Homo-oligomer: A and B are copies of this chain.
C-alpha cells in the first residue's frame, strides 16, 4: 500500500474524501489533482452572489488551498488527469504549464463533477450571453450586470478569478433586460437574482411548468411568485435562437422574438467522464459513472463520487443520477473512510431538493412523476392539498401546498413536494426521512409531528395530505 490515494477533482466530493482519508489514515499519502484554479467552491451559492445577497466571492469558498495544505493533503491545482490505466493502476496527468507525467495510485477517486450544457446555443463569442457553471462565469455575470462606473472589483476577491474576463464584462454597458433560458432550479434562482439587480427578466422553459422535477403544484406557485415580482415566465416556449452579432440582442422562442441585452443559458449538465474513456467502465443513468453502495466503479480500486457518479435511489433501489451538493460531500466522506480501511456506505439518495423564488420556498423528494413511478413498477396515486402553515388564528399562517405520491398496492410513500411562504421547504425533510424509512402513507398520517400555533396547526400540512391521500388509497 505504498502507492497514494489519488483524487481527481478538488471540489465537494474530492476534498471531502481527501480530508476524511487524511484523518483516518494519517500515515498514508493522498494527492488531489485539480485541473483548474478553483477549489471547494459553493456552486449552489453563485445565484445568491449574483443577486447581491453575498458580498464577496471568497465567502463562497469553504476551503482555501492553504487550509487544504494544512490538512496534510497534497493538492495540485492546474493538473488535469487525462487518462486512467486501471490495469497498471496509473493516471496520466497534464499540467497547465504543458508538462505530462504518470502517477501510480493505490486507490483512485474520480470526482470530476459535471459541466453545463448549452443545448444548441453557443454562448461563446456573444457578449452578454453566459452559462452559469463555474465561479468565473458568476464573476463575469456579476460584473456585466453592474453599471460600469458602479462595479466594485473587490466583489471578485479571489486570486483564482479570471480577472480579464471580469474587467471586460464590467466595462460593458449594463443590461436592462435579461433572458434566462431553462426554468430548472438554477434558472429560477438566476431569474430572482437578476430581478433583484433591477433587470427586467424573462424566463423561457421548454415544458409546461417551471421546475419540472418538482411537479406541477410547485411549478404553478413558483411561476406566480416570479410573476408577482415582475418576472415574465414563458412556459411551453423552447428557445430557438440567441440573436446577436457581437452582443446578445434578442431571444427567439416559440415563434416570438423578445429583445434582451443579456442571456443566461442553463439547460442542463453532463457528467465529466472523459478521463475514463477507453477503460470500459460501466455507465449509469445520465451517462454518469455507475457505482455501487460503497462508491466503487466497475474498475478495480477506482471509486467515483459527486456530480460525475450515480447513487442508489432510496425508492427504486436502482442507480440514479441527481447531482447535488450533499450527495457529493457525503459520498466523498464515505469513500475517504472506506479507502482508509473503514468500509462505509455512501448512502442512498432520495432526490431531495429545495429552491426559493423570492419569498416562496419549494422542495421535492422521491418520485413525483406518475410516469416515472409506473416505469419503476409502482401504481402511483397522487394528491395535492392546500393547508395552513400555522394555526389559522396565528398571524403569518400561509397556504402550503403538499403533494404526496404513494403506491396503491402497498401504500408505500414514493414522493412528495411542499411549496409555500412559511417554513415550507424545510418540511420536505420529514418526507425524505419517511421515504428513506420505507414508510407507508398511513404511517405518515399517524406521525407525531410537532404542533405549536406559531409553527404548525394541529394537523400539519403533511398530515393533512397523508389523510386525504389515504382516503383515495382506500377508495
A residues contacting B by CB (< 8 A) are 12, 42, 44-45, 48, 53-54, 59-60, 314, 324-327, 329-330, 345, 347-356, 361, 363, 365, 391-395, 423, 425-430, 432-434, 436-437, 439, 443, 446-456, 458-460, 462-463
Q: Is the CB of B449 within 8 A of A329?
A: no
Q: Is the CB of A349 within 8 A of B448?
A: yes
Other A-B pairs beyond A48-B454, A329-B458, A347-B446, 20, CB < 8 Å: A42-B453, A45-B453, A60-B393, A325-B451, A329-B459, A345-B446, A347-B448, A354-B452, A355-B452, A356-B454, A361-B455, A363-B450, A365-B448, A426-B426, A426-B455, A428-B450, A429-B447, A432-B449, A433-B447, A436-B443
Question: What is the count of identical protomers in the complex?
Answer: 2
Q: Is the CB of A393 within 8 A of B42?
A: yes
Residue of B nearest to A314 (CB): B448
| Inter-chain contacts of A448 with B (CB < 8 A) | 314, 326-327, 347-352, 365, 432, 436
Residue of B nearest to A351 (CB): B448
Residue of B nearest to A349 (CB): B448
| Inter-chain contacts of A44 with B (CB < 8 A) | 391, 451-453
Q: Is the CB of A446 within 8 A of B54?
A: no
Q: Is the CB of B451 within 8 A of A394?
A: no
| Inter-chain contacts of A355 with B (CB < 8 A) | 452
| 20 A-B pairs with C-beta separation under 8 A | A42-B393, A45-B393, A48-B453, A53-B394, A325-B451, A325-B458, A326-B458, A326-B459, A329-B458, A350-B448, A352-B451, A353-B452, A354-B452, A363-B450, A365-B448, A426-B427, A426-B455, A426-B456, A429-B447, A430-B432
